[in-house]
């Protein structure tokens, strides 16, 4: 019997079973980080359910945080919001300031996606403070993205770039290659928004090479997206479409469908630039449905602007103006109207709708859109498209 007892599987021992549970949670998180999005939610739920037999609240809290953090790392930050909230509460109960700082940095990114810019900035600042008190320079890097993004959204590209350059010096000093690729892409986006297309291309190409060298596919895709955004703004529509469709396919492969709201809007603008109102309308409709699924009001506003541009191209000025009003009101509600550097697509759609209507009619339709809100305004536009004789309704 003594020998039989020695041969019992290790998972019958409480400590060993706990270790297996922790290892399973980390394995799930690591596979998500490398881009395995298949049945992601079910795998996370299963990994956490196993903790029902483990009494250590600290280990459960860490597992929740890590699994939510991996979703931030792959770009699907909204999916992990509930887990981050639970982990944050757990860390505070445990008095774990480092864990609190880590959870706050993730919640800052989640709030950014939800359109809560003030909340994102508040969480990021507190995270930086806590990591600073712990002497953790690396941890402070996690809040660079939400802080620089909020600055860029408000049109403060100088501050956004300064945050990224400071962080880039740190990551290069410590050899943090994945962070380097993402920061280079961030600098590329700001260069793009300030109209320096050559610098934007250089930054994004550097980011892509850096990511490819270390097998960081998510970073590579981020850089390819930047190249696609830049190519469209340079009028290189074929090149842009190739890049954007590469990103679109990868997002679908790894389960990041919500991230395709931007990609579909960009593809719709390309179709519009080619004069194909029907294709533009179809892409923007798909983008709008995707944007709604994210819960991000800024993504919804972009999709509504894309629909407006497609309608204006087709000659449907009044519903286009309604949509433009709804999009403007949606952006204003987040505290971040479009800055001048990002108004190109909206200004083009506005000019086309203005030409189709008398001034008073445009302003009346625009105000109606502001009052309706985005979802009701899209309903009006879709109904108009169905009864229209233009290509949009075909």
Residues of the chain with CATH 1.25.40.10: 141-255
Q: What is the pLDDT of residue 33?
A: 73
Q: Specify whether the CB–CB gap between 255 and 38 falls below 8 A.
A: yes
**Confidence tier at 200 by pLDDT (50, 70, 90):** very high
36 has pLDDT over 80: no
258 has pLDDT over 80: yes
Mean pLDDT of all residues in the chain? 89
96 contacts: CB under 8 Å, gap ≥ 6: 58, 61
CA 285 to chain centroid, in Å, comes to 19
Pick 59 or 87 by higher pLDDT. 87
**Confidence tier at 215 by pLDDT (50, 70, 90):** very high
Structural fold of domain 141-255: 1.25.40
Q: Please write down the HEC assignment for all residues of 74-88.
A: HCCCHHHHHHHHHHH
Give the pLDDT confidence of 329-341 residue by residue, as tens digits: 999 999 989 999 8
Give the pLDDT confidence of 94-118 residue by residue, as tens digits: 999 999 999 999 999 999 988 899 9
Selection from 64, 140, 78, 139 nearest residue 112 by Cα: 78
- For the range 345-351, what are the long-range contacts, defined as Cβ-Cβ under 8 Å and sequence gap of 24 or more? 345/269, 345/305, 345/306, 345/309, 346/305, 346/308, 348/309, 349/305, 349/308, 349/309, 349/312, 349/320, 349/324, 350/324
Q: What is the pLDDT of residue 56?
A: 65
CA 340 to chain centroid, in Å, comes to 21
152 contacts: CB under 8 Å, gap ≥ 6: 160, 189, 190, 193
5 has pLDDT over 50: no
């Amino acid at each position: 019997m003594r020998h039989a007892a020695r041969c019992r599987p290790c998972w019958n021992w409480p400590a060993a079973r706990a270790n297996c549970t922790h290892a399973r949670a980390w394995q799930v998180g690591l596979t998500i980080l490398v881009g395995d999005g298949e049945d992601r939610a079910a795998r996370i739920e299963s990994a956490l359910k196993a903790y029902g037999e483990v009494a250590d609240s600290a280990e459960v809290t860490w597992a929740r945080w890590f699994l939510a953090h991996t979703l931030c790392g792959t770009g699907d930050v909204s999916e992990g919001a509930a887990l981050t909230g639970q982990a944050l509460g757990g860390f505070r109960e445990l008095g774990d300031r480092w864990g609190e700082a880590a959870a706050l940095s993730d919640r800052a990114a989640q709030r950014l996606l939800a359109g809560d810019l003030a909340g994102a900035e508040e969480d990021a600042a507190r995270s930086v403070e806590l990591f600073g008190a712990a002497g953790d320079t690396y941890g402070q890097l996690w809040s660079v993205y939400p802080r620089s993004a909020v600055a860029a959204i408000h049109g403060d590209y100088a501050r956004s770039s300064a945050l990224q350059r400071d962080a880039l010096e740190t990551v290069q000093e410590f050899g943090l290659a994945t962070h380097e690729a993402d920061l280079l892409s961030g600098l590329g986006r700001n260069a793009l928004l300030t109209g320096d297309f050559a610098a934007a291309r250089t930054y994004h190409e550097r980011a892509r090479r850096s990511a490819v060298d270390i097998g960081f596919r998510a970073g590579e895709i981020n850089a390819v997206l930047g190249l696609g955004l830049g190519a469209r703004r340079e009028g290189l529509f074929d090149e842009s479409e190739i890049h954007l469709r590469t990103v679109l396919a990868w997002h679908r492969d790894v389960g990041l469908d919500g991230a395709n709201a931007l990609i579909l809007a960009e593809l719709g603008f390309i179709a519009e630039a080619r004069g194909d109102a029907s294709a533009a309308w179809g892409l923007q409709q798909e983008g709008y449905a995707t944007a709604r699924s994210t819960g991000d009001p800024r993504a919804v506003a972009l999709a509504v602007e894309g629909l407006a541009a497609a309608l204006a191209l087709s000659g449907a000025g009044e519903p286009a103006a309604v949509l433009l009003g709804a999009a403007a009101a949606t952006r204003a509600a987040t505290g971040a109207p479009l800055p001048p550097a990002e108004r190109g697509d909206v200004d083009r759609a506005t000019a086309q709708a203005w030409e189709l209507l008398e001034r008073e009619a445009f302003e009346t339709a625009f105000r109606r859109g502001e009052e309706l809100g985005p979802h009701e305004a899209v309903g009006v536009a879709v109904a108009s498209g169905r009864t229209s004789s233009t290509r949009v309704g075909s």
